[in-house]
Structure 1
Amino acid sequence: MKTNSQDVKARLCAIGESNVLSILLQKGWDALNINGTIKNFKSVDIICFKEDLNDWKPLTSFIQVKTSVGKNIPIGFKIEDCLNRDELEKKVLGPYVFVYVQIKNGVYEFRYFILSRSQFIDLANQSHEYYTKGYKRVKEINLDSVAGLNLHWLEGKSDNETLNHRAFNNPLNGISCENKWENIWLE
């Protein structure tokens, strides 16, 4: 199956959101995909609730889901937005769940990477500072380009220095966020 048509991409994103919703429900948390009621809500895909026994109201998390077959996963911002930490603080409402999909002989294999709101802001900001200022470039970068996060950064890995770029010290400090579902409850 080709994954470059808009219909196929939209279907893949819907599958990713549905899988995340299913996992949240299996964990005993109440969750609702708001894209079922509001077509592609800008900053939130899923609202999740967790009963807090110490309070009368449940904890609430506004989750953004990003699904990709590529190892550089688009994050819904421009590079320029990622360079402005204050802008990210305003626009990012909650945690991000990245769904990486591999399709082998028509069989879908999924990996889930969960970043708290603050982890996402740190990684988006610092990785794009690195991307724009840490490379030796001949051509300037178009700051209106779509920003993305590399799969290996979500795995907690950093980039070593090479002749073409300085080292990137991943703010996740070597800790993978794969299957870290509790991160949706952290700031």
Structure 2
Amino acid sequence: MSTSSETVTAPAAPAPGAARGTRLAFRSAVLGHPDAPVLDGVDLEVSPGEILTVVGPSGCGKSTLLRTLAGLLPPLGGAAEADGSPLTGPSADRALVFQEDALLPWRTLRGNVELPLAIRGVSRAERRSRAEAWLARVGLTAQAAQLPHRVSGGQRQRAQLARALADSPRAVLM
């Protein structure tokens, strides 16, 4: 058994007046793939800061609903909106934590957490700082340099959560 005296610094709080949360909505939405609609007539509104749990049996459309809100799957009909505007694709404001981990196998856990920040053009030093802070928060400091196949499934899921939160999204979809 080992102990650690490591100090973890939380990521910076949003600036005063910064937007917190986002309003997500479906209006008479039809969701699924063109050859296989899964949900029809979905009317749903999630207020900023609200926590919503969708429960149902396997195959009922929970992941389809989340993928549509993330902007990865367009609605087949009706509307999907974020803050009153149509969802037209993925956005840094909405992070999706996939059911199966979606870590890139050739990147370390730290590299995976840094990825969305790199895509947005965040400086290398800031990316490293945020990634290390989030890896510490999810208990993966010691595994930061490991490749995904070298850690457990639970550790991969925590790395995926750190990646989703590192870019300070306004909505986290899990």
* TM-score computed with the length of structure 2 as normaliser: 0.31
Higher relative contact order (CA 8 A, sep 6+): 2
* TM-score computed with the length of structure 1 as normaliser: 0.29
| Bigger proportion of residues as strand | 1
